[in-house]
Structure 1
Amino acid sequence: MAGPTLVSSRRDDQALPRSSLIAGIVAAAVLVLGTLVLAGTISPAQGALLLVGGALGAVLYHAAFGFTSAWRVFIIDRRGRGLRAQMVLLAVAVVLFFPPLATGTLFGHPVHGFVSPIGLSVVAGAFMFGLGMQLGGGCASGTLFTAGGGNARMMITLVFFIIGSLLATIHFDWWTSLPALQPVSLATRLGSSGGIMLSLLLFGAIAAVTVWFEKRRHGTLERAAAPRQQHGSRWLRGPWPLLFGAVALAVLNFVTLAIAGRPWGITSAFALWGAKLTQLFGIDPGQWAYWQQPGNARALSESIWHDVTTVMDVGVIAGAMLAAALAGRFAPRFDIPLRSLVAAAIGGILLGYGARIAFGCNIGAYFGGIASGSLHGWLWLVCAFAGNMLGVKLRPFFFRQPKRPVVSGV
């Protein structure tokens, strides 16, 4: 006799759907057992970073903290709540990051930020990444947490994200040979206090611009939606307030700085995964200049579990999967339109390629770069936003959306 059918529209006090139950068990096992194994075989810090990644994945999922959707909504509809949340994220981050980065130590341990050259490779790479965000359907963090949350299409984006990252390592030396200025960090150039004040003024100015545009079109600012009624704990099953998500992500990035000695990153691991796969087919990526750099050469020669970024990426996926499972919403769908699949492939390659040559993604360059005071993070923001504007114009072809939704106001 067939068992009772479990549906996703269940009441919160009923049993989880089978897909969510299985996903929850798998995700919990990865986080618990992975932490124990990493702590025992590599270091306690490595095990702790897996849990930090898990916490980041849960926050991203439950707060629905997206960079791609926030930028798209502002570009199309001039709604700026998501962008303002990003400014809160960055404001909290610089207040936490700048003092230890200015001194070079945190809790007695050396730390460093993501500070990279300001050049044409950042311009081109960030623009590619921004375009890829809208075609691929997510940024670096968005790809991980939505894939972990059960979005089958984003797994396609992730696969091509890895391919694009690997391709960029082949040409990396050419891109970095293009004209560029030396790296500059506000945290060290102006000191922590001066850097924080200037950064906060810039964040406030961006937030004010979003308010002006939103009021000009709609007359009033968008309010956060009221949480849906449910029997279980909102903090266990979501959704979480967007601003809570912004603060939590900044604090968890600071925890990453304290444990790993550098900010949270995502996309360098994709290049490493791609390089490891090529070795299985008899190709030696070690002959490419990117993999001859000391840190990259060491990562290529070691197990991927020694790589901090890999461990945290796995944690993000597992954390988002656990969050989706507890919410009863882990239910992958595989009926993906062909044009959407093509967009995922193109977008993934642009995301991966762009992130490598721009010295990071929305996390490593935008979030981590600006939190480190790096001017390349600000250049990345401008160029990636321009790429998003083009991507928004191309989306209707791939996703059969109206070129512009009906909105009220001017």
Structure 2
Amino acid sequence: MTTSSFAAPAPDAGPRPSAPTDGPPVATAPNSLAVTTGLVIVVLGSVYLATNHGAKQAVLFALGIGLGVALFHARFGFTSAWRQLVSVGQGRGLRAHTVLLGTTAALFAVVLATGAGFGGVSPQPSVDPIGVGTMVGALLFGIGMQLGGGCASGVLYHVGSGQSAIVITLASFVVGSFAGTWRIDFWHETLPTFGSYSLAEDLGYGGALAVTLLVLAAIAGASILVERRRTPPPVAPVPTARGLARIVRGSWPMWVGGVVLAALSALVLMTKGSAWGVTSAFALWGAKIAQALGMHPETWSYWQDPGNAADLNGSLLDHATTLNDLGIIVGAGLAAAVGGQFVVQRRIPWRIVVAGLLGGFLMGYGARLSFGCNIGAYLAGIASFSLSGWVWAVVALVGTWVGLRARRRLGLATPRPGDGVC
């Protein structure tokens, strides 16, 4: 990838527009220095965590590495899937979502019904309340991810694979997440709320899973009908290796990525007791930085919650979501290096800087209001059979429509199907 890839849209990929070719482009040689660096970080990081913070922390870091590898190899996009559906009617990415959501829901149903956890962990579902504040948050997140060029998980694996522009989005994401913790009581206590609802409470996990799978199948079918009516541009695969080497040096089919991510999500649930999330770590990083600068976020209601207070007073390397996030960055970097696609960009157009700053802040702030992001609110919510996950998805899809128009106001072209990754 070259610096020119940032001249129009922020990076956000999937399959590229098709051109005459005899087959998929061939992956280039591995980046030896980046591969070596990545392996050293993996080994030393795992040993340090296991020795000083316990085996559980090392496992969480390892699971994050696996998530990063899968996200990169499958080019698994949340931002791009919704953008392509809204802009040109391309439903391939959305159908990959249904595979991820359905497989994760099936695994969660087993784990939650049996209480299966490692080391005495008792897994809990992600069932969040629905209210005006949470819907405002989902809307802001949907707008922000189109401006910033990635979702929460996508920002992390883009950073890991060397895409410098996304570092700007990540920094602003952290600021926005921290800002969202201020006066959080206004959004969740002063504004109207409608409570929470779980399908599993009324139908049991078997019944809830059956309903969820039927809805996902209907969504997949609807996406096919949309494609037939709008005839989106054809797409072609990204660079990949041949044969078995494709597993470590190529692009995976998106459905394979969905299945692998679902399995890893279930292992995260069994290891830490709650579903995979991303953005609570960003809020914590921001609070730690704020304390170092002389601020006192510990006086805010969000940080007086016993769990959040314990995180703020503890080590970042004891924070499960932080370890997952760091692992995603490392795993994506290693996967990109092995595939010969780790390239650091040095020139970033000013419009991309502005869009990244604005989009990152909106995503961070929105994620705090809506109890999570495309992972913690959308994936975990739907897989936990919570109505909140579906509401988040619908509102964030509206935000996608608004965000695409905001891109044009900033003079940024709407990315074509396949331009970028997340």
TM-score when scaled to structure 1?
0.90
Cα deviation for residue 228 of structure 1 reads 4.8
The counterpart of 1:94, out of the listed 84, 105, 118, is: 105
Q: What is the CA–CA distance in structure 2 between the aligned matches of 1:66 and 1:226, rounded to whole Å?
A: 14
- Deviation string, structure 1 residues 161-202 (Cα, Å, up to 9, x no partner): 000001000121111112112222222332011100110111
Q: Which residue of 2 aligns with 1:245?
A: 257
Q: Match for 2:316: what amino acid?
A: I
Question: What are the equivalent positions in structure 2 for 1:161-176 lying under 5 Å apart?
Answer: 161-176=173-188
Residue 23 of structure 1 pairs with residue 71 of structure 2? no
The counterpart of 2:92, out of the listed 63, 67, 81, is: 81
Cα deviation for residue 381 of structure 1 reads 0.2
Q: Which residue of 2 aligns with 1:296?
A: 308
Q: Which residue of 1 aligns with 2:231?
A: 218
Q: What is the CA–CA distance in structure 2 between the aligned matches of 1:400 and 1:387, rounded to whole Å?
A: 17
Q: What is the CA–CA distance in structure 2 between the aligned matches of 1:399 and 1:88, rounded to whole Å?
A: 35
Evaluate the alpha carbon distance shift between residue 110 and residue 333 of structure 1 in structure 2; reply closer, same or farther with a 3 A threshold: same
Q: What is the CA–CA distance in structure 2 between the aligned matches of 1:13 and 1:391, rounded to whole Å?
A: 34
Q: What is the CA–CA distance in structure 1 between the aligned matches of 2:27 and 2:217, rounded to whole Å?
A: 40
Check conservation: 2:404, 2:414, Cα contact below 8 A.
no
Evaluate the alpha carbon distance shift between residue 396 and residue 126 of structure 1 in structure 2; reply closer, same or farther with a 3 A threshold: same
Q: How many correspondences in the alignment?
A: 391
Cα deviation for residue 104 of structure 1 reads 4.1
Question: What are the equivalent positions in structure 2 for 1:253-264 lying under 5 Å apart?
Answer: 253-264=265-276
The counterpart of 2:69, out of the listed 10, 34, 58, is: 58
Q: Match for 1:204: what amino acid?
A: A
Range moving further from structure 2, 204-213 or 247-256? 204-213
Q: Which residue of 1 aligns with 2:12?
A: none
- Deviation string, structure 1 residues 140-174 (Cα, Å, up to 9, x no partner): 00000011111000000000000000100012111
Q: What is the CA–CA distance in structure 1 between the aligned matches of 2:197 and 2:243, rounded to whole Å?
A: 51
Check conservation: 2:28, 2:339, Cα contact below 8 A.
no
Q: Which residue of 2 aligns with 1:283?
A: 295
Q: Which residue of 1 aligns with 2:207?
A: 194
The counterpart of 1:185, out of the listed 187, 193, 198, is: 198
Q: What is the CA–CA distance in structure 1 between the aligned matches of 2:298 and 2:323, rounded to whole Å?
A: 22
- Deviation string, structure 1 residues 96-126 (Cα, Å, up to 9, x no partner): 1023324544466411021110111111000
Cα RMSD (Å): 2.2
Question: What are the equivalent positions in structure 2 for 1:201-212 lying under 5 Å apart?
Answer: 201-212=214-225
Q: Match for 1:261: what amino acid?
A: G
The counterpart of 2:43, out of the listed 32, 35, 40, is: 32
Cα deviation for residue 363 of structure 1 reads 0.3
Q: What is the CA–CA distance in structure 2 between the aligned matches of 1:55 and 1:393, rounded to whole Å?
A: 35
Q: What is the CA–CA distance in structure 1 between the aligned matches of 2:243 and 2:202, rounded to whole Å?
A: 52
Cα deviation for residue 25 of structure 1 reads 2.4
Give the SS at the match of 1:190.
Answer: helix
Q: Which residue of 2 aligns with 1:363?
A: 375
Q: What is the CA–CA distance in structure 2 between the aligned matches of 1:74 and 1:254, rounded to whole Å?
A: 28
Q: What is the CA–CA distance in structure 1 between the aligned matches of 2:349 and 2:238, rounded to whole Å?
A: 32
Q: Match for 1:80: what amino acid?
A: G
Q: Which residue of 2 aligns with 1:382?
A: 394
Structure 1 residue runs of 5 or longer lacking an equivalent are: 1-9, 406-410
Range moving further from structure 2, 325-334 or 181-190? 181-190
Range moving further from structure 2, 256-265 or 26-35? 26-35
| Structure 1 moving runs of 4+ over 3 Å | 10-14, 102-109, 221-232, 397-400, 402-405
Question: What are the equivalent positions in structure 2 for 1:128-147 lying under 5 Å apart?
Answer: 128-147=140-159
Q: Which residue of 1 aligns with 2:55?
A: 44
Q: What is the CA–CA distance in structure 2 between the aligned matches of 1:13 and 1:56, rounded to whole Å?
A: 23
The counterpart of 1:121, out of the listed 120, 133, 138, is: 133
Evaluate the alpha carbon distance shift between residue 120 and residue 28 of structure 1 in structure 2; reply closer, same or farther with a 3 A threshold: same
Q: What is the CA–CA distance in structure 2 between the aligned matches of 1:403 and 1:257, rounded to whole Å?
A: 34
Check conservation: 2:144, 2:358, Cα contact below 8 A.
yes
Cα deviation for residue 26 of structure 1 reads 2.5
Evaluate the alpha carbon distance shift between residue 151 and residue 399 of structure 1 in structure 2; reply closer, same or farther with a 3 A threshold: farther
Structure 2 residue runs of 5 or longer lacking an equivalent are: 1-24, 418-422
Cα deviation for residue 229 of structure 1 reads 5.8
Q: What is the CA–CA distance in structure 2 between the aligned matches of 1:366 and 1:216, rounded to whole Å?
A: 27
Q: Match for 1:189: what amino acid?
A: D
Cα deviation for residue 252 of structure 1 reads 0.4
Cα deviation for residue 404 of structure 1 reads 8.7
Q: What is the CA–CA distance in structure 2 between the aligned matches of 1:50 and 1:190, rounded to whole Å?
A: 35
Q: Match for 2:289: what amino acid?
A: L
Give the SS at the match of 1:150.
Answer: coil
Give the SS at the match of 1:183.
Answer: coil
Cα deviation for residue 78 of structure 1 reads 0.4
Q: Match for 2:224: what amino acid?
A: V
